[in-house]
Structure 1
Amino acid sequence: MPIPSRIGETFFIFCENAQTVIRFAPLARMIRFRNEERLRMIKGRRFMMSLTLTIGLATMSTSALADGAQPVSVSVAPTVQTSTAVDAIAKLGILRGDGQGVTEAYLDQHTTRLQAAIVQLRLMGKEQEALGFTGMDSFKDAAQAGKSGRAILAYLKGHPEYGWSGTGTGEFIPNAPIAPQQLYKVMLESLGYRSGTDFAYKETLSFASSKGLFRAATSELFENRDLAVALAETLQAKPKGSEGTLLSVLVGKKSIDAEQAKLLEGERIDMDKSADGTMYLTDGKGMALYLFTKDSADINSCQDACLANWPVFYSDSLLLPEGVNPADFGAFVRNDGAKQLTYQGWPLYYFAKDAKAGDTNGEGANNVWFLIKHPFYSVGLGTDPKLGNYLVDRHGMTLYYFDKDPLGASVCEGDCLAKWPVFRAEGSVVPKGLSANDFGEITRKDGSKQTTYKGYPLYYFFQDAKRGELKGQSLGDVWFVVNPAAFVGTTTGLTAPAKAMIEIKDYSFGPTLTVKAGTTIEFINRDDMKHNAVAVDGSFKIALLDKGQSATIKLDKPGTYEYYCEPHKSFMKGTIIVQ
């Protein structure tokens, strides 16, 4: 953890694991010490302090302060409780699993019709009544269920108002997988809506969506994991004619523990699909969430009129969808005292001009506002008042290029790499305005990979300790941040004869290669199997290469060249972009 080094400054510490930012108030104006001995003691402690000790300063006894001095003011990051639908439903006891509990294996199992019926009765507080039912009239195939299951089926037969009328031929088919439409009909029945009266069965999914039940509707084969999702949203929905949620009704009846119910009382995080097919995060009402690139240097960058257009997003409790990491969320206290949530360290905002769910009018605004994509950006943007936009990693750490690097290679080795570690992206998600095709990678001499932008390697600087720092900018007049709007290549790359290499390895041509017109491109085969490269438009074709053999081509005309390997045409394909 970074340690404040001078009294009188405001410090921000970003805790990567907790995704939080702690603001330390100026000390010099607040603390006076009675004598030099106490001052030396406090200074010594500062070099050893932990977060707990720092917070402890806020409650320091006034006997340690000079007369008239004020106590230290410390903003402690708010605690955000996170849960998933699976976790919450399991802890509430509504989904109980098999003999081993709610395991991954159980969640992967298909939900049966009988299982769905039992869960519905549990939601309605009728399960024990059904298990004790002794009526003899039941469905024809009741014998397919166990003893307790047979009691359930007889109970459902005697209570058709719960929506389980069977197949129409007197059978229930208890062990058959349930379809989303059938399951959501059951959930609507739990909320007091009746098929045939409040909605037509064929319109079940659209009616359910209007009541906030839709998050598992696209599952082709409904699994217990999907069941948990549907149960969570049903509990958060309002029964017909009710002002409160089903969850609050059950808490009022003491069917659900009030303390445990808090797991489902938080703000939902959902996902929606953008126009380009990528997914982005929304709140529970479908309103898009955004990040601000200027926050890379100061998380309080959005102020006054900015906040009027970009309201902050905050909740002290979140219900997350499956696949979203709870550790990615944190919170901090803004300079104005308001609390704000963060995602991977980036403060979260709404856009005032998004009027309804699905609106993404803020995407790419002024080249500084972007949706929170999922998976998150593999490369992002930071913004500096003098330098403009520049490339950063997913956490906001600055990326640089080395002006001595030629196209498609790195000359930074040894001590150079100790100060300028290589950057390797995970994934290929980039903000609007950037092209994923501009990012590729090279294989270094030691076999490691390094991400490139427009064919040039990207690096960190070892003295950049936190996001927003630009200590490597202009060092030696050869290291620079990468402004995507202005970057065309390094001095060496633009003046040296243009060369690039495509390694054919593991039955792949690797990522898209971006080169300048006139570049000589060498294909080299690293596989035991023979490969070649043939352009789809017929502009080039190389012979089959044995392992270790190579061949070169030269492309003078700008454009996008798709190509393939003849022996493995169905899956070995590549792209070269010539600028």
Structure 2
Amino acid sequence: MQRSLLSSGYGWGAVFFIFEKRNFVQTVFRILPLARMMILFWKGERLRMNKSSLRLVSFGLALMFALMPMAAIAEDQATPVVAAPAVQATTAAEAVTKLGVLKGDGQGVTESYLMKTTTRLQAAILLLRLIGKEQEALSYTGMVNFADAAKAGKASQPVLAYLKNHPEYGWGGTGTGNFEPSATVTSQQLYKVMLESLGYRSGTDFAYKDSLAFASEKGLFRAADATPFTNRDLAIALTETLQATPNGGTTTLLQGLIESKVISAENGKLLDGQRIDIHKTSDGASYLTDGKGMALYLFTKDMADLSTCQGACLTNWPVFYSEQLVIPEGMDAKDFGAVTRSDGAKQLTYQGWPLYYFLKDVKAGDVNGEGANSVWFLIKQPFYTIGLGTDAKLGNYLVDSSGVSLYYFDKDPMGKSVCEGDCLAKWPAFHADSVVIPKGLKAEDFGEITRTDGTKQTTFKGYPLYYFFQDAKRGDLKGQSVGEVWFVVNPAVFTGTTAGKTTPAPAAEKVTIEIKDYSFGPTLTVKAGTTIEFINRDEMKHNAVAEDGSFKTELLEMGQSATIKLDKPGTYDYYCDPHKSFMKGKIIVQ
């Protein structure tokens, strides 16, 4: 029981650790209190314990002895942690609500309020509120008014009189002496007024019929196609007007309102930054841009290291950053963040991916960087459900939307998973409800299977995709080569599993395609000889017609089904006859 602590492995380990990491004098002063306590203990002067308790305390004291210098080292030599830059992303509706322009109805600015159509009077009052003229208008005593002012109600009649006598604010009425206060405002009417608020005069600087085109030239276009025009659309038009520069001015309308104390500098920060917009490519794909329409890209090599792009790379692919963002309605502010790069520069991220411009994109609408070197891709909307990561040794490989690695199991035959039980606990099945992929990948290569428990699993070229439970973050590749049967999927070289090549997967007796929400679902991959059942879950009648004429079902009522059998390998594109323009499907027969 009197055995010295130093005779134990724990004790010597602690002492050697201390002398290795700290100088002798510092160590002595730090451990004196512990040493005195331990001496008293070992002499039996203060404590009496049984043998098992003694061993436990001996271990605990030795551990304290070892850990104490670690704290001291951390205290003196801690590596500074660079906090992620703060980014505030807000929608137009949120911004003008915080600015006090939108106040909503009795329930505030709710979703139902934003969905309501905007009346001409409401739009006029909100504009006056925005530029700090609302109270002046409400207390206006001028008697000259629009012929139909009485339709607005007594409280609002001074506002109409004010607008009648202040045509510079753009509300001159309908040209018949009326204002039509309760009529729904149109985007053309609204943008004409926005242009007037910026100092452009209808009939002088632009013709009324060209209001939308002229407004677009000035950066006002985001609600131009709105029909009917809603309070949400009004919020969008108001924010872009605030960020525009008035005719002949050098600063934005927002900055002018801040200088005149109409808007506080603090609230003004909500719009003092970049916009994020959604544009479309010539083939109809939607992607993110900045407020000037310049495309934004991700770099697949930004996996474990978000600062992979350096030197000449950064010259060609400049970073995108703004502390403040105005994002499109429907986008999630939590998808946007920021990082501090290794060179100290700040960079915005979307769903964890750093954002870049491309040097050769010289005007709005250019997407010259799309697919460059198979590592640069647009930020598609909706975002990729299956994307690409790049590793120096492995090349490109499939990842989910967050950059987490996806694997295949070399023991899986085509169209089936043999990973069950404990295997599945370590290798969870991956499933994407829809397939959104980067340029260069083929949609027909992706499908899904139904597992034995009824859940769905996404496949690539007919083979199931998995996560690895030890991959905790983007860039982790801890599942690569595990047991020499688990591997990431390089889509350029993947041709199937060993099991799939040596043992053909048995044909399923029956595969069901549920027709619902006017969709046949994702691409289906089956073996030759499979019976395929179509079941209609919609109230509308549907059928399935092969483009090459190989099969055609009857029109199915809700709940009815029809079956076909495909014996010949190949790709079968098909459609629903009554909804041919948009309702299409694909079956791949191996």
Percent identical residues: 65
What secondary structure does 1:174 align onto? coil
Residue among 494, 519, 523 paired with 1:512: 523
Residue 263 and residue 66 in structure 1: after superposition, are their counterparts in 2 closer, same or farther (change >3 A)?
A: closer
Residue among 544, 554, 561 paired with 2:567: 554
Aligned partner of 1:513: which letter? L
Per-residue deviation, 1:420: 0.7
What secondary structure does 1:270 align onto? strand
Residue 544 and residue 191 in structure 1: after superposition, are their counterparts in 2 closer, same or farther (change >3 A)?
A: closer
Residue among 333, 340, 344 paired with 1:326: 333
What secondary structure does 1:375 align onto? coil
Per-residue deviation, 1:98: 1.7
Per-residue deviation, 1:514: 4.0
**2:511 alignment partner in structure 1:** 502
Q: Which has the larger radius of gyration?
A: 2
Aligned partner of 2:585: which letter? G
Residue among 101, 107, 119 paired with 1:100: 107
User: Is contact 1:237–1:245 with CA below 8 Å preserved after alignment?
Assistant: yes
Aligned partner of 2:512: which letter? E
The answer on 1:127 being equivalent to 2:120 is no
Q: TM-score, normalized by length of structure 1?
A: 0.84
Per-residue deviation, 1:510: 3.5
The farther-off stretch of 322-331 and 151-160 is: 151-160
User: Is contact 1:163–1:189 with CA below 8 Å preserved after alignment?
Assistant: yes
Per-residue deviation, 1:371: 0.7
CA distance in 2, matches of 1:570, 1:365: 32
Q: Which sections of structure 1, spanning at least 5 residues, go unmatched? A: 1-27, 48-56, 58-63
Alignment of 1:338-487 (within 5 A): 338-487=345-494
**1:302 alignment partner in structure 2:** 309
Deviations for 1:186-223, whole angstroms, at most 9, x for unmatched residues? Answer: 11111111100111111111111111111111111110
CA distance in 2, matches of 1:88, 1:543: 53
**Aligned alpha-carbon RMSD (Å):** 3.2
Residue 467 and residue 42 in structure 1: after superposition, are their counterparts in 2 closer, same or farther (change >3 A)?
A: farther
Aligned partner of 1:81: which letter? Q
CA distance in 2, matches of 1:544, 1:46: 78
- How many residue pairs were aligned? 530
**2:587 alignment partner in structure 1:** 576
User: Is contact 1:503–1:510 with CA below 8 Å preserved after alignment?
Assistant: no
The answer on 1:262 being equivalent to 2:269 is yes
The farther-off stretch of 543-552 and 97-106 is: 543-552
Per-residue deviation, 1:541: 5.3
Residue 574 and residue 502 in structure 1: after superposition, are their counterparts in 2 closer, same or farther (change >3 A)?
A: farther
Q: TM-score, normalized by length of structure 2?
A: 0.83
The answer on 1:523 being equivalent to 2:535 is no
User: Is contact 1:437–1:514 with CA below 8 Å preserved after alignment?
Assistant: no
Deviations for 1:259-299, whole angstroms, at most 9, x for unmatched residues? Answer: 11111102211111123312111111111111110111321
CA distance in 1, matches of 2:425, 2:214: 60
**1:538 alignment partner in structure 2:** 549
Higher normalized helix content (fraction of residues): 2
User: Is contact 1:536–1:564 with CA below 8 Å preserved after alignment?
Assistant: no
Alignment of 1:85-234 (within 5 A): 85-234=92-241
User: Is contact 2:566–2:589 with CA below 8 Å preserved after alignment?
Assistant: no
User: Is contact 2:515–2:534 with CA below 8 Å preserved after alignment?
Assistant: no
Q: Which sections of structure 2, spanning at least 5 residues, go unmatched? A: 1-17, 35-61
Aligned partner of 1:197: which letter? T
Per-residue deviation, 1:515: 5.6
Residue 246 and residue 485 in structure 1: after superposition, are their counterparts in 2 closer, same or farther (change >3 A)?
A: same
Deviations for 1:122-175, whole angstroms, at most 9, x for unmatched residues? Answer: 233322221112222222211111212111111222223332222222211110
**2:15 alignment partner in structure 1:** none
Per-residue deviation, 1:398: 0.6
Residue 130 and residue 493 in structure 1: after superposition, are their counterparts in 2 closer, same or farther (change >3 A)?
A: same
Per-residue deviation, 1:542: 7.1
**1:20 alignment partner in structure 2:** none
User: Is contact 2:117–2:229 with CA below 8 Å preserved after alignment?
Assistant: yes
